[in-house]
A and B are shown apart, each in its own frame.
Chain A
Amino acid sequence: MKRNPRDLVRYNASERANHWVVGICFILLALSGLAFFHPAFFPLTQLFGGGPWSRILHPYIGVVMALFFIVMACRFAKLNIVEPRDIDWLKNVNKMIDGDDHDMPEQGKYNGGQKLLFWGLVIGMALITITGVLMWRAWWNLPVGVVRAASVVHAIAAVWMIGLIIMHVYAAIWTRGTIRAMLYGTVTRAWAKQHHRGWYRKMTGDND
């Protein structure tokens, strides 16, 4: 597809790169983490060069992800402040799920769902980072009670995050024309007007 020069820029290159570092790290973490979480996934360790390598790499990847996530979260935090219109949107989320979002309340750059997801990820990431560090035996041996609690929280937070990211990714795929926003930065005006009208107006000054 030849790109339309009037497409709207949604993410600059640095934002996209940042997101994908986080995204790739997350996939690696989820794969290696799940390998430890449930025997069914243990073979996933082979992707990392076996069990010990998975155990060694996971936390370091985690640290990389955490750092990039912090940068990303700072970049997007302001845009994810929940406003009254987001609440309205959320109240009508059923319509969205039905794929019938043309008369949803008007949204800014991100809709209520995305914002919730954002904060859900921030919370999850905070928990997972802190607990992950606490349970990192290669570096320290904390009291077993602490490690136990950390392990439970880490696992729950991981499941939480994986769940959210499944939704996130699905939403990106489902909402046609979204992925390109994170791939090469632009979206069509039609996409913007349909999904993020407030942002569309702001970007284009087009108020009809």
Chain B
Amino acid sequence: MSSTMSLDIKRRSATTTPAPSARETHSGEVAKLIDVSKCIGCKACQTACMEWNDLRDEIGTAAAGVYDNPTDLTDQSWTVMRFTEYENEATGNLEWLIRKDGCMHCEDPGCLKACPSPGAIVQYSNGIVDFQQDQCVGCGYCVTGCPFNIPRISKKDHKAYKCTLCSDRVAVGREPACVKTCPTGAIMFGTKEAMKDQAAHRVVDLKNRGFDQAGLYDPQGVGGTHVMYVLHHADKPSLYKGLPDDPKISPMVALWKGVAKPLAMAALGAAAVGSLFHYITKGPNDVSKELEDEMERKDAEALNKESGK
């Protein structure tokens, strides 16, 4: 979490009026580029993230029999390395695909769309999607909304956490902690344009090295992302331990947080207002005078009968 004071806000969860957005990022939106073809899976980025953000996950076990540790993202692990052993049948080569997983900072963030709490998720004008835990109610809608399975709810404080793209560092002109630490230069940070240029250069190199399908992962289904990957197999993102091939906000979520809202509000409004107008136009449904009289008569009869006894 960082302060919303330091960066201007493009989008704000559960807010129907414009966010404070007079100031813009004229130097361009930012992006982190993860060059999977350069990553050696050393986890320095994971460690830097824990150090900068003061996170300490539990010490796990080796029971999963893999190099992935911790085995999943948690409220204490905002980024983890995912290792895949892939036998490339086309070349006969084994490939060890290592992907740094974490928030993609979607241009059209499903988490923000889903979040019911005003301002608990914001998107800064530079593109970073950030959670403001003090506004978070812990409902988990962001998890439901995210196409990349990123946010995690803490068991301790029941707030949602994920990579902030080090918005606190970026706000003061520094690169994210993981970028600064990465020993191989596999993670780069700059304007989105610059990162795309860098990626294009890398893709040419990878193609020259026989990865015909190398490419940039900047999925348009979520409007592009502010964390992008250079992949050797951009045609098959799911090779990289479940990176979605064509991520978009789930139609369920789109329905739930999209059309459903105004329609439902309209329907409920109509029911309430309709009732009111019905009352105004038709008046109450009273028992008819006829019946009232009949019953009064019968009451009297009954009373007489009783007293006659």
Direct contact between A and B judged by beta carbons closer than 8 A: yes
Say if the beta carbon of A201 comes within 8 Å of chain B: no
* Beta-carbon contact of B158 and A99 below 8 Å: no
Interface size class of B (residues with CB under 8 A): 35 or more
Nearest A-chain residue to B299, judged by Cβ: A6
* Beta-carbon contact of B275 and A166 below 8 Å: yes
Complex Cα–Cα for A101 and B153 (A): 55
* Beta-carbon contact of A151 and B141 below 8 Å: yes
Residues A55 and B139 in contact in the complex (CB < 8 Å), given A37-B261, A155-B264 = yes
Residues A149 and B252 in contact in the complex (CB < 8 Å), given A39-B14, A45-B137, A166-B268 = yes
Residues A151 and B144 in contact in the complex (CB < 8 Å), given A37-B264, A174-B279 = yes
Chain B, range 73-125, C-beta contacts under 8 Å to A = 116-118
Q: Which residues of A contact B298 (CB under 8 A)?
A: 189, 206
Q: Which residues of B contact A170 (CB under 8 A)?
A: 275, 278-279
Q: Which residues of A contact B16 (CB under 8 A)?
A: 39-40
Complex Cα–Cα for A144 and B278 (A): 43
Say if the beta carbon of A120 comes within 8 Å of chain B: no
* Beta-carbon contact of B15 and A39 below 8 Å: yes
* Beta-carbon contact of A189 and B295 below 8 Å: yes
* Beta-carbon contact of A52 and B137 below 8 Å: yes
Main SS of the interface on chain B? helix
Q: Which residues of B contact A149 (CB under 8 A)?
A: 252
* Beta-carbon contact of B143 and A144 below 8 Å: yes
Complex Cα–Cα for A55 and B282 (A): 40
* Beta-carbon contact of A166 and B271 below 8 Å: yes
Q: Which residues of A contact B24 (CB under 8 A)?
A: none
Residues A36 and B287 in contact in the complex (CB < 8 Å), given A188-B295, A190-B294 = no
* Beta-carbon contact of B143 and A137 below 8 Å: yes
Residues A162 and B252 in contact in the complex (CB < 8 Å), given A189-B295, A190-B295 = no
Output the least CB separation between B256 and chain A (Å).
4
Complex Cα–Cα for A155 and B264 (A): 9
Complex Cα–Cα for A98 and B140 (A): 46
Say if the beta carbon of A42 comes within 8 Å of chain B: yes
Chain A, range 71-100, C-beta contacts under 8 Å to B = 97-99
Q: Which residues of A contact B283 (CB under 8 A)?
A: 99
Residues A137 and B261 in contact in the complex (CB < 8 Å), given A42-B14, A42-B116, A189-B295 = no
Q: Which residues of B contact A175 (CB under 8 A)?
A: 284-285
Interface size class of A (residues with CB under 8 A): 35 or more
Say if the beta carbon of B21 comes within 8 Å of chain A: no
Say if the beta carbon of A163 comes within 8 Å of chain B: yes
Q: Which residues of A contact B264 (CB under 8 A)?
A: 37-38, 155-156, 159
Complex Cα–Cα for A145 and B135 (A): 26
Q: Which residues of B contact A193 (CB under 8 A)?
A: 291, 294-295
Query: Which listed residue (A42, A101, A152) contacts B260, Cβ 8 A?
Result: A152
* Shortest 5 CB-CB contacts between residues of A and residues of B: A51-B137, A137-B140, A170-B275, A148-B252, A36-B116
Q: Name B residues whose Cβ lies closer than 8 Å to a Cβ of A.
A: 14-16, 116-118, 135-141, 143-144, 149, 153, 158, 250, 252-253, 255-256, 260-261, 264-265, 267-268, 271-272, 275, 278-279, 282-288, 291-292, 294-295, 298-299, 302
Q: Name A residues whose Cβ lies closer than 8 Å to a Cβ of B.
A: 4, 6, 35-40, 42, 45, 50-52, 54-55, 97-99, 101-102, 135, 137-138, 141, 144-145, 147-149, 151-152, 155-156, 159, 162-163, 166-167, 170, 173-177, 188-191, 193-195, 206
Could you list 23 examples of A-B contacts with CB < 8 Å? A36-B141, A39-B16, A40-B265, A42-B116, A45-B137, A97-B278, A99-B282, A101-B285, A135-B140, A135-B144, A147-B143, A151-B141, A151-B144, A152-B260, A155-B260, A155-B264, A156-B260, A162-B268, A176-B284, A177-B287, A188-B287, A188-B295, A190-B287
- Kindly list 16 other residue pairs between chains A and B, CB separation below 8 angstroms, not including A40-B16, A97-B278, A175-B284: A36-B141, A42-B14, A51-B117, A55-B138, A101-B285, A147-B144, A148-B256, A151-B141, A152-B260, A156-B260, A166-B275, A170-B275, A175-B285, A176-B284, A176-B285, A189-B295
